[in-house]
Amino acid sequence: MKKTHKRILAVLTAAMLLVSCSQFSILAAAVDHTHAYHVETVVAPGYQFGGYTVYRCSCGDSYMDDYTSPIEQPYCVLTGGKLAPGDSVTVQAVLHNCSGLQDLTLDLLFDMQLLRLTDVQCAAYGVPEFLSDRTLYFSSIDPAAQQATLLLTFAVDADAPTGELTVSASGCGVSSLAADNGEEIFLTTVQNAVLTVYRPFVMAVNAPEEPLFAGDTVRLTVDLSENTGVAGMSLALHYDPDVLTLTAVGKCGMFNSGSTVMSGTITAMPYRILWDDAAAHGNHTENGTILELTFTVNDTAEPGSTQVYVTFDAPDVLDTDLNPVELTTSGAQLSIVDHICGDADGDRELDLTDVVLISRYLAQGWNVEIDTDSSDVDGDGAVTLKDAVLIRRYLAGGWGVVLV
């Protein structure tokens, strides 16, 4: 019995020694192994998570390295501008971080009661589909474009109040850079477009509507309307000296306050007027005439039209705080003639008397003289009954008659 126990113990001891030797051999082999890693997987960055590379050895060991940051979400920067009610303005929207973008739905946020989107231009994205009055869908996108510029044209309501209007944008789309995990991109605005609506006051040169003859004297006025407040301005008066001669410039209205300096000679071209009321405690807001201009039509003036207008440099129309004031100007159109069409008696008026005189001239025996050039209103080279009828219809109105 004792011999049996000894034999079993010997076998167990030998087995334990064998296992121990095997483990030692495996450990020794592991210590001697050199890892040879290769790139197993490259994970591209997405819009929520970064990218990385998986390296693996033939023995099964692996690790991750070469981490990259998540892709920065696209964003939009919009720039605004200034405009008057009823005008149009182009807003520039620059989209950043757009590489790989396959399509984009863009929602524009603006006051639809005061603004209306009338046109969209984008070289990189092509012509969009209008999903609504303010939602655009771009499908023809160049995926290589890292940046895209949209030109958005808005029309502003003619009754829009003065103040600021804001245009913003948001969007979503699919990018090929994140196609593996199906992530969508979300575009946000980091800078809104601020549109400043202002009402400029108007400076107009006004003239009589009657045509002028060589040698005539005519008086024009320079008038203000919708005056938003002004304390000083520098103006330049322009006209054609071959047609007109400026003979007098008179101050009116608010130009009688403060200080006014004009060109040293009446023939200066352009003729300049500088006015300011530096001593005033506030802006002048009155409307009406500020200048009276007297011109003579030169004896050598040829028939035609000529314009009288004023210009100004933007920084030279100021308020009491020396801030530029928005101002628009309009000129006057003068018509120079050598006769009035249909004026048979030469009194510079077209009336029924001219019709009667032409009729008597044609009937003969009335001892009547007429201006045959003026009486030939159809331009056929002769005075006929047709001319009298045309003048009568012209005076009656509604016949669509044009006298030549």
Confidence category of residue 267, pLDDT binned at 50, 70, 90: very high
pLDDT attached to residue 239: 98
CATH classification (class only), 75-197: mainly beta
Encoded tokens for 114: 């005061």
Looking at per-residue confidence, does 236 or 280 come out higher?
236
Question: Averaged over 275-289, what is the pLDDT?
Answer: 91
Distance CA 43, CA 180 (A): 9
pLDDT attached to residue 97: 87
Topology match between the domains 201-336 and 339-404: no
Q: At residue 32, does pLDDT exceed 80?
A: no
Question: Averaged over 190-194, what is the pLDDT?
Answer: 96
Distance CA 204, CA 40 (A): 78
pLDDT single digits (tens) 8-26: 555 556 556 555 555 545 4
pLDDT attached to residue 280: 81
Distance CA 105, CA 136 (A): 6
In angstroms and rounded to an integer, the radius of gyration of the C-alpha atoms of the chain is 44
Q: At residue 347, does pLDDT exceed 80?
A: yes
pLDDT attached to residue 183: 62
- The one-letter amino acid code at 302 reads E
Please, which residues have CB within 8 angstroms of residue 85's CB and are 6 or more apart in sequence?
Answer: 156, 157, 158, 159, 160, 197, 199
Distance CA 233, CA 317 (A): 4
Of 151, 152, 186, 189, the closest CA to residue 171 belongs to: 186
Confidence category of residue 50, pLDDT binned at 50, 70, 90: confident
Q: At residue 351, does pLDDT exceed 60?
A: yes
**What are the structural domain ranges in the chain?**
40-70, 75-197, 201-336, 339-404
Of 306, 387, 384, the closest CA to residue 350 belongs to: 387
pLDDT single digits (tens) 52-101: 999 999 888 999 999 988 878 889 999 999 888 999 999 999 999 887 78
Q: Can you identify the CATH homologous superfamily of domain 339-404?
A: Dockerin domain (1.10.1330.10)
Distance CA 243, CA 303 (A): 10
Q: Across-strand partners of 202?
A: 225, 328
Tokens 């989209």 correspond to what residue?
Answer: 95
Of 105, 51, 302, 92, the closest CA to residue 194 belongs to: 92
CATH of domain 201-336: 2.60.40.680
Helix (H/G/I), strand (E/B), else coil: 301 = coil
pLDDT single digits (tens) 286-338: 999 999 999 999 999 999 999 999 999 878 899 998 888 888 899 999 999 99
